[in-house]
Structure 1
Amino acid sequence: MQLKHLRTLLSPQDGAAKVTCMAWSQNNAKFAVCTVDRVVLLYDEHGERRDKFSTKPADMKYGRKSYMVKGMAFSPDSTKIAIGQTDNIIYVYKIGEDDKKVICNKFIQTSAVTCLQWPAEHIIVFGLAEGKVRLANTKTNKSSTIYGTDSYVVSLTTNSSGKGILSGHADGTIVRYFFDDEGSGESQGKLVNHPCPPYALAWATNSIVAAGCDSRIVAYGKEGHVLQTFDYSRDPQEREFTTAAASPGGQSVVLGSYDRLRVLNWSPRRSIWEEAKPKEIANLYTVTALAWKRDGSRLCAGTLCGGVEQFDCCLRRSVYKNKFELTSVGPSQVIVKNLSSGTRVVLKSHYGYEVEEVKILGKERYLVAHTSDTLLLGDLNTNRLSEVAWQGSGGNEKYFFENENVCMIFNAGELTLVEYGSNDTLGSVRTEFMNPHLISVRINERRQRGMEDNKKLAYLVDIKTIAIVDLTGGYNIGTISHESRVDWLELNETGHKLLFRDRKLRVRRVTKALAIESLEDVVLPAARDC
């Protein structure tokens, strides 16, 4: 991962004017910055300032300057923003492009809110000065304690899926909690005692990275054992680490200190963290906040003097046929940008595998990429992406994109169907006759009463035998034997009828009951054209 400075979003001031927190929206369209004066600035994805609004105190009798904003996060649908304050309250604001900012929820607490995350719909997780980690439900407007400690919560972060949280405390304790461990079997509760308060805390894909005032970065394993240590305590140019952020893919971590951003990249082949060349910026002063854009392409850093700097993040960048820009923002994540329309698609391995060469096929509409154990597919028009388990076959696969809902993959006599947007293969059959005119797939093309999913496949078992398969149930509906070679077939939209043609240009229609009805020697124009 390399950082390249793009622009200054907010100019620094002459004195201390700390950027207290920052956040990117889930849809990548908004970026929010909160400064020491308790004003939230809203930027668009291009870095242009579009709006701002002032936060409000919990109690006006103490005045508008009686608190600080310590945590901020967008909702998963990007329509709301939560603000955590030191005057013991969390406000949730409803935001829009030009709409007035309206407070739709507020949660009064017993001590100052010190950090905040919004990992899932209706669920805000936050830490308190008294040591508790709590949950606020925006649907019920109630909050409850997840777990309690006796030490100030200095940092809070989530894993890439948002189903697990880590909290760092002033006594060095790091605690882990899962809403859903997703089958990992990892333990909950106190994970490790870090040597100092872990103000810089990040949960990456393969480890937990923590740092603080001792100028050491420590990478911990899944159960708290030390994997690696990067010691800068003897470097006179290095000071304490104040904040950290993991990339959306979880394979890079950036840590902020004084005049410097340090970058760690995970090496899948060596299974260790490798340090990239640090980004040093004179007169940047202490980095107080970091926020990574959800597609991984931008990193923003806020400073003690109120400046906000934006950096471009990439491993490598290339242009495909002068029409698409391919930007690798991590080993497992590639951003595909259409240079003419400006639209972008994020192709990502959810298992953290390294993405190999990306191809754009099917009249430059469909994405195909391999990893060591999976196959990535995507539709650029609909932004439907899939990742399915796939063992490499030397690149001998043939891809057919005639169906807009399904990618047909043929290799060594086996036909595999993958529905765009699904991470499981739709079905797999053996056939030696791979031709778009000899395969017909229907996927929920017409709503039917009492049937939620209607997915059917018709294909040739041999040159005179057609098989019809229910892909939802995974069973054979039936087979049709014909006296002459079949050279074209098609299911109707509901998959209840089949029309096919033999080499003598005779057309047959098969109903759901598989009764064959002869149409003599009449050939439909549409069939003849096929």
Structure 2
Amino acid sequence: MQLKYLQTIADAQEYDCKVVGLAWSPNNQKLAVATIDRQVVLYDEKGEKRDRFSTKPFDPEAGKKSYIITGIAFSPDSTKIAVAQSDCIVYVYKIGEKWGEKKAICNKFPQPSPVTCIIWLLTGPIICGLVDGKVRALQIKSNKSQSLFASDSLVVSLAPNSKGTGFLSGHIDGNIIRFYLTNDHNEDEAQGRIVVHSAPPYALAWPQGYIFVGGCDKRVAVFNNNGKLVKNFDYSRDNDEYEFTVAVCSPSGQAVVMGSFDRIRLYNYNTRRSLWEETAPKEIKNFYTITALAWKKDGSKVTCGGLCGAVFMFETVLKRTIWKDKFEITYVGPSQVLVKPLDTNERGVILRSQHGGEIEDVRIMGKDCYLVARTEETLLVADLSRNLLSEVPWSNSLRHEKFYFENPNVCLVFNAGELTLIEYGDNDILCSVRTEFANPHLISVRLNERNPASENKKLAYLLDLKTICIVDLVNGYMIAQISHDSKIDWLELNETGHHLLFRDKKQRLLLVDTVTQSKQTIFTGVSFVQWIENSDVAVAQSGNTLAIWYNIDLPENPTLMAIKGDVTDVIRNNSKTEAICVDGNNTFSVELDEGLVEFGTALNDNDFSRAILFLENMENSSEAEVMWHTLYVIAMKQQNLTLADRCSSALGDVATSHFLRETMQTAQKFIEKYNENPNNSPDVWARLSILYGELATAENIYLEQGNIDAALEMYKKLHKWDEAIRLAEQRNHEKLDELKQERMTLLVQSGQFEKIGQILEGEGKYEEALTMYVKSNKLLRIPKLLEKEPSLLEDHSAIANVLKSLVKQELFEAAAEVYEKLDKPDLAMECYRKGKVWNKAVDLARTVSPDKVVQLEEEWGDSLVENKQMDAAISHYIEAGCTIKALDAAVAAKQWKKAVHIVKVIEDADTVKKYYELIANHFATAKVSKSSNIINSVNDLIG
């Protein structure tokens, strides 16, 4: 690096007119020059004078000449200047962002002794050194000062580190003290005194990993961070050299400028040799003592001020190249590059390696919107339009990487089967995965789009041609793995990452829910598909049909439009959404329903007022109903009762709306009583649980509050009497009997005699239960009741009435069971036969009348034949000895093998002749070799 003279900003005077301070603003737009006559002059980056203001004394009565300025410093946001004065005060002036804005003092920091030097760290606080040896931090927001440490000797210099997290203070006794304001420094770099120099360290700088010290001994000493001397530039034998008065390091920390008398010396760090080297000094005749130095934050310029008021500007450039007549690339240091567009007035991007590596191979890519550069150990990518820079560790890959910039938030780097994601502005690799498919259409990344409540970063890519993998980039685990039966040629996540669309080689469009991993085909013959920006609306084209899914949660109901030509893009801007179509040489647009798109966007942005306004202007339709329901679900999730009430009213759900309004009244009472958020109200929680149907949860909430009466009242209102009595019994409630009586009264009034019978049966009141069952005409419960309590059979009159009713209602099975209990098997058998409960009839016959079993088996078979259950009837006919009927059933059921077995046991050939022909014809047609015997038998019969 060399210093090249550019221009004179301020001319020298014929008298002592010392420049007491220089400061470049962090945004590189302003240069402040403090003069001995207590003024601050402001210049633009081109060195043109644009503004000035005078400073004020701490004590107005002491007069305007009672002090001098001892130092100045810009704020991190470039809108304020701190001015240190010898009359024991630091003023902070607000100068604004634009030229000509009114200057005003926004902070005053009185000090116990005169201020000698000042810096403003990037981390926020102002640091000043005092004559009494104290170093103090000045907090802008609180307007308070605090002492960081104290020494016994005057502070002559302050030097910040490049990160703005710590500083060095030089004292007149030669001590150099290091202090950090944050805890992110290296543990090996201890705080406190680290160096004792042989002379007062007026020239002090803190480049990366080293400390530069110069003073009246005409030596420049270089120490490492542990205070060990690593280099000594000794000019004590040079009679033309004088003491070093001031020092400044470059923003990259790889160069240091030291000022003395009529001379500036530049020291560069050789990254390849890992040592500091001196370049040829810059001689400035008749400049006299260098009193101030400042390095522009982009590293391109150094300004120096002298004893007679002169201010010179020098350019610090290693080399400069032009990229395709579009960008100027200026290497201002080994690890710092300034990239500026040539055709606009934009300020460009400062490319700086945080690791101090030498930057090489700077390339502008991605339609001139992105930048890629390298060091030996890192890769740098930058978004030029948003000034976002990332530097990530990168091994030597022979520079075979392919870069993709289609995604505005992340750079895709593909190399040797590995895909790496680098988020712009983040210095850590977002994700690395193995894949052989580097096509951007087969990779989809979504990073915190649409302002999510929590971190939402997802990646979808192809594991192979038929398998999609979806990864959560926040937690680093796989969400889903989707397998398909055909090759996939396009995929894309929606902006929230909750849905994935993909298309296969058969032009089928499929939708995947990334949460449930469900997959369904939603369109076929698809030639174009795209998610609409800032929405969950999808658009696809198939032939001359354009399908729009305004509600992707209902993929089976897309809106279809007839179009001509091929859709090439869908654009949304200026409150309009249009599909761009190309038909031959003609290009035209098809406007979509921006209102429907807007509704989805409003929901995603939680702008419910906008969503309601849109729905209120819609006509009543099934689509509007679905949207109101969607809005209701969201409102309930967020416990927004007012919104939920409005939605339920629109849906015509009067009961829910009424319940929600009562809940809102409960919430209002809670606010008035406790002055807290109504979401903290247990009564509101319980009512919402009731609305969700979670009665057990509501009960627990009431019980936790000790309010059992509220839980009982809830069950009573919902007519859950069994639950209410169960709870009262568990808690031994005093109103248990009252509840039981109240339930019984209600059941009697509503004619629920069967329920009464169940209750009485449970209480052991069997006779009363029998009466209720008869009265309710629910007679099927009676046999089980009689089985449980046989003594009821002794009431012959009641049992006779029960049997009469059972037979009248043709409940023969139940009647038969009662007859069995009365030990009347014949009547029971008759009822089983009438009810066609043949299995129980046969079982009973085997016990009491074995001679009737054969007849019952035949009747059972006949019943099955009537019901066309031929296959089931065969075995019963065989049991009954009715072989002809069994053969008929087997032939009718086409159970030919069974028919062969049956026909063999029938001796009457004339009777089975027709069956032989049927069976033989079947086997002959089926070409089964086993039919030969049957065919021969048939021939014998016919012959």
The verdict on a shared fold, with TM-score over 0.5 as the criterion, is yes
The one-letter code of the counterpart of 2:13 is Q
The one-letter code of the counterpart of 1:151 is S
CA contact under 8 A between 1:22 and 1:291: conserved in structure 2? Answer: yes
CA contact under 8 A between 1:86 and 1:113: conserved in structure 2? Answer: yes
Once the two structures are superposed, residues 162-199 of structure 1 have per-residue CA deviations (whole angstroms, 9 ceiling, x without a partner) of 11110111111111111125241111111111111111
The 3-state SS of whatever aligns with 1:93 is strand
Aligned to 2:311: 308
The answer on 1:297 being equivalent to 2:308 is: no
The answer on 1:396 being equivalent to 2:400 is: yes
CA contact under 8 A between 2:290 and 2:305: conserved in structure 1? Answer: yes
TM-fit CA distance, 1:342 = 3.3
The one-letter code of the counterpart of 1:352 is G
How far apart, in 1, do the equivalents of 2:273 and 2:460 lie? 46
The one-letter code of the counterpart of 1:245 is V
Identity %: 56
How far apart, in 2, do the equivalents of 1:198 and 1:468 lie? 59
Residue of structure 2 aligned with 1:162, choices 144, 151, 164: 164
Matched ranges for 1:219-368 at <5 A: 219-343=222-346, 344-368=348-372
Once the two structures are superposed, residues 329-361 of structure 1 have per-residue CA deviations (whole angstroms, 9 ceiling, x without a partner) of 111100011111132100111111111211111
Bigger relative contact order (CA 8 A; separation at least 6): 1
How far apart, in 2, do the equivalents of 1:374 and 1:401 lie? 19
CA contact under 8 A between 1:163 and 1:178: conserved in structure 2? Answer: yes
Aligned to 2:419: 415
CA contact under 8 A between 2:507 and 2:527: conserved in structure 1? Answer: no
CA contact under 8 A between 1:265 and 1:274: conserved in structure 2? Answer: yes
The 3-state SS of whatever aligns with 1:437 is helix
Aligned to 1:205: 208
CA contact under 8 A between 1:26 and 1:77: conserved in structure 2? Answer: yes
RMSD between aligned residues: 1.3
How far apart, in 2, do the equivalents of 1:315 and 1:453 lie? 42
The answer on 1:56 being equivalent to 2:69 is: no
CA contact under 8 A between 2:122 and 2:163: conserved in structure 1? Answer: no
The 3-state SS of whatever aligns with 1:269 is coil
Q: Which has the larger radius of gyration?
A: 2
Residue of structure 2 aligned with 1:127, choices 105, 126, 129: 129
How far apart, in 1, do the equivalents of 2:16 and 2:450 lie? 63
The answer on 1:70 being equivalent to 2:70 is: yes
TM-fit CA distance, 1:99 = 2.1
How far apart, in 1, do the equivalents of 2:178 and 2:285 lie? 37
TM-fit CA distance, 1:520 = 5.0
The answer on 1:113 being equivalent to 2:85 is: no
The answer on 1:479 being equivalent to 2:468 is: no
1:502–1:70 Cα change, 3 Å: same
1:395–1:238 Cα change, 3 Å: same
TM-fit CA distance, 1:511 = 2.1
1:168–1:447 Cα change, 3 Å: closer
Aligned to 1:441: 445
Once the two structures are superposed, residues 385-421 of structure 1 have per-residue CA deviations (whole angstroms, 9 ceiling, x without a partner) of 1011111211011111111111000111111101111
Aligned to 2:808: none
How far apart, in 1, do the equivalents of 2:523 and 2:246 lie? 78
How far apart, in 1, do the equivalents of 2:124 and 2:161 lie? 18
CA contact under 8 A between 2:2 and 2:318: conserved in structure 1? Answer: yes
CA contact under 8 A between 2:123 and 2:165: conserved in structure 1? Answer: no
The one-letter code of the counterpart of 2:301 is R
Further displaced range: 462-471 or 119-128: 119-128
How far apart, in 1, do the equivalents of 2:260 and 2:343 lie? 40
Further displaced range: 202-211 or 96-105: 96-105
The answer on 1:380 being equivalent to 2:387 is: no
How far apart, in 1, do the equivalents of 2:454 and 2:30 lie? 36
Q: Which runs of 5 or more residues in structure 2 are unaligned?
A: 530-539, 542-566, 569-943
The one-letter code of the counterpart of 1:460 is L
CA contact under 8 A between 1:367 and 1:378: conserved in structure 2? Answer: yes
Matched ranges for 1:81-120 at <5 A: 81-96=81-96, 97-120=99-122
1:190–1:121 Cα change, 3 Å: closer
CA contact under 8 A between 1:22 and 1:290: conserved in structure 2? Answer: yes
CA contact under 8 A between 2:317 and 2:333: conserved in structure 1? Answer: yes
How far apart, in 2, do the equivalents of 1:391 and 1:525 lie? 39
The one-letter code of the counterpart of 2:127 is V
Further displaced range: 58-67 or 114-123: 114-123
The one-letter code of the counterpart of 2:321 is S
The 3-state SS of whatever aligns with 1:388 is strand
Aligned to 1:492: 494
The 3-state SS of whatever aligns with 2:61 is helix
1:236–1:440 Cα change, 3 Å: same
How far apart, in 1, do the equivalents of 2:484 and 2:332 lie? 54
The 3-state SS of whatever aligns with 1:364 is coil
TM-fit CA distance, 1:204 = 0.8
CA contact under 8 A between 1:155 and 1:167: conserved in structure 2? Answer: yes
Aligned to 1:40: 40
The one-letter code of the counterpart of 2:196 is N
How far apart, in 1, do the equivalents of 2:475 and 2:226 lie? 41
CA contact under 8 A between 1:507 and 1:524: conserved in structure 2? Answer: no
CA contact under 8 A between 1:122 and 1:139: conserved in structure 2? Answer: no
Once the two structures are superposed, residues 105-149 of structure 1 have per-residue CA deviations (whole angstroms, 9 ceiling, x without a partner) of 111111110000110454110000111111111111111111111
Once the two structures are superposed, residues 235-279 of structure 1 have per-residue CA deviations (whole angstroms, 9 ceiling, x without a partner) of 111111110000011100000111110000011121211001111
The one-letter code of the counterpart of 1:196 is A
The answer on 1:176 being equivalent to 2:171 is: no
How far apart, in 2, do the equivalents of 1:481 and 1:118 lie? 58
Aligned to 2:23: 23
CA contact under 8 A between 1:238 and 1:258: conserved in structure 2? Answer: yes
- Equivalences, count: 528
How far apart, in 2, do the equivalents of 1:121 and 1:407 lie? 29
Counting strand residues as a fraction of each chain, which structure ranks higher? 1
The one-letter code of the counterpart of 2:199 is C
How far apart, in 2, do the equivalents of 1:28 and 1:524 lie? 50
The one-letter code of the counterpart of 1:2 is Q
How far apart, in 1, do the equivalents of 2:340 and 2:417 lie? 35
How far apart, in 2, do the equivalents of 1:514 and 1:182 lie? 42
The one-letter code of the counterpart of 2:34 is C
CA contact under 8 A between 2:123 and 2:164: conserved in structure 1? Answer: no
CA contact under 8 A between 1:160 and 1:248: conserved in structure 2? Answer: yes
The answer on 1:517 being equivalent to 2:520 is: yes
How far apart, in 2, do the equivalents of 1:518 and 1:124 lie? 63
Aligned to 2:454: 452
